[in-house]
Structure 1
Amino acid sequence: KEVIHREALEPSHHWLDAGSGQLGKVFLEVIGCDNIPNLDHGGHLGNKTDAYVTVVHESTVVKTDVIANCLSPRWPPWSQRAFVLRMTHSSSQVFLAINDYDSGPDKHDVVGRVAVDILALRPNTEYFLSYDIFNSDDFCTRKPRGSISVRVMIDIEDQRKMFLSGSLYRFLNPMHVSTKNKKDLRAVRYATNGSEGDSY
């Protein structure tokens, strides 16, 4: 386990470039999760959660590879785990939904979600961040369902535009997200709203 963890901290080999914004870039690497619940049936047979992470930023949706049968998964540096998210405005959060992948017709089971506040980060500074994972927004009753670790850095190409972009942009210019199938749409809705929804 220690070797796998150290290897996961190595720089990513491949980066997926996504989005069309010109304000700046968010460099995001999904490193791993710890102590997530087992959502697979047949746990007594060795079946465990097949974890993957859906990343939603503005109108962009990307996903990590699936790590099968592991409750503390690590994404190795050669896997799909690293993303360059191009920013349109400064107040955009990065939403992460952690799911249990199901290959059949059923929806992917929900582990929980996290939001990364980009406004709290300084440009050109690398952060290693760990967040508790929750599947509820009720602060009084919710309990952590493990944690997720990510490495993040933002690069701002125009500081003046960054300052002027402001949160009002989000309301004047709503983002539209397209997905290939209903399973992915559910994951996006859950990541951004905390609800999977049933209307399409």
Structure 2
Amino acid sequence: GDDSPLKNFSSPEPIEGKASDVNFRHVRYKKIMEAQRKRDANQNYMYRIQPGPDPNRKDTTTWMTKNALRDEALKPSTSWVRTGSGKIGTAFVEIIGCNDLPNMDVNVNANDKTDAFIALVMEDNMVRSDVIHDTLSPRWMPWSTRAFAFNIIHPSSLLMLGVFDFDGGIAGIGGISDIMDDHDTIGRVVINCAKFESGTTYLLHYQLHDDPQEEDARGEIILRFRVEWNSESEAKKMSLIA
């Protein structure tokens, strides 16, 4: 009606081109990278921990040196995501980090680097880690979304991991089914759970390849992995069944 507070409002003329897209990208980048690195009293570089500090230790985990950050990533996970409906056993996967990833954002911003996250698929379940922005050797902290427990239906099921470069602008990642289409693939790894001893914890380093025919690795992923069968004899019997 005439009493509307917007009755005298007139919108500006639209601007041709992609200026707003570029500006949004710049705002996102500036927000993410604001004060991500600083020097301590000894002039050593310290890095802001992503996606945030340990809620119980904010004073000591908001900023860390590179060595402290890598040591922290190796500590046991404190938060787990459980998924799957199987009853034969459970596969426990912790994403520790990646090394020497390619820079997937080199054409976006001169100072921008890969924004990595991991998607994991096993049987009919799909989960993903937090995004670690702007680094080629990301580390996931024990309190972040990095640890997953898959309840397994069949012991010969494959665990598939994909390392992706986040490309969601400021909107974030949408439906989990959009990951393969909306984000740039860096590399993949496939793990056969039946190849591992039950109850044994493995620290695994896998070379990443986007194409099986690709000779040159696209960096590596570091995982901590353990599989536990509720009945080893039953698991062995089922593994012989196609």
The bucket for the TM-score relative to the shorter chain is: 0.7 to 0.9
The structure 1 residue matched to 2:209, chosen from 130, 134, 140, is 134
Matches of 1:34 and 1:167 in 2, distance apart?
36
Matches of 1:42 and 1:135 in 2, distance apart?
20
Matches of 1:56 and 1:168 in 2, distance apart?
22
Verify: 1:116 aligned to 2:191, yes or no: yes
Matches of 2:99 and 2:116 in 1, distance apart?
11
- Classify the secondary structure of the residue corresponding to 2:69: helix
Whichever residue aligns with residue 153 of structure 1, its letter is R
Matches of 2:205 and 2:120 in 1, distance apart?
16
Verify: 1:64 aligned to 2:126, yes or no: no
Whichever residue aligns with residue 161 of structure 1, its letter is E
Distance 1:46 1:80, change over 3 A: same
Contact 1:131 1:148 in 2 (8 A): yes
Whichever residue aligns with residue 157 of structure 1, its letter is N
Matches of 2:109 and 2:93 in 1, distance apart?
35
Matches of 1:148 and 1:86 in 2, distance apart?
23
Matches of 1:115 and 1:79 in 2, distance apart?
23
- Classify the secondary structure of the residue corresponding to 2:235: helix
Q: CA deviation at 1:164?
A: 1.7
- Classify the secondary structure of the residue corresponding to 1:85: strand
The structure 2 residue matched to 1:149, chosen from 208, 222, 234, is 222
Verify: 1:84 aligned to 2:149, yes or no: yes
Normalised to the residue count of structure 1, the TM-score between the two structures is 0.79
Matches of 1:145 and 1:117 in 2, distance apart?
21
Matches of 1:75 and 1:56 in 2, distance apart?
19
Matches of 1:67 and 1:73 in 2, distance apart?
6
Q: CA deviation at 1:44?
A: 5.6
RMSD after superposition: 1.6
Between structure 1 and structure 2, the one with the greater Rg is 2
- Match of residue 45 from structure 2: none
- Classify the secondary structure of the residue corresponding to 1:160: helix
Q: CA deviation at 1:41?
A: 4.1
- Match of residue 40 from structure 1: 105
Contact 1:67 1:75 in 2 (8 A): yes
- Classify the secondary structure of the residue corresponding to 2:182: coil
Q: CA deviation at 1:167?
A: 5.6
Return 5+ residue gaps in structure 2 as ranges: 1-65, 172-180
The structure 2 residue matched to 1:29, chosen from 94, 97, 121, is 94
Whichever residue aligns with residue 165 of structure 1, its letter is M
- Classify the secondary structure of the residue corresponding to 2:92: strand
Normalised to the residue count of structure 2, the TM-score between the two structures is 0.66
For these two proteins, the number of residue pairs brought into alignment is 167
- Match of residue 162 from structure 1: 235
Contact 2:194 2:239 in 1 (8 A): no
Q: CA deviation at 1:161?
A: 1.8
Percent of pairs with identical residues: 37
- Classify the secondary structure of the residue corresponding to 1:136: coil
Matches of 1:107 and 1:44 in 2, distance apart?
19
Q: CA deviation at 1:142?
A: 2.4
Q: CA deviation at 1:45?
A: 3.1
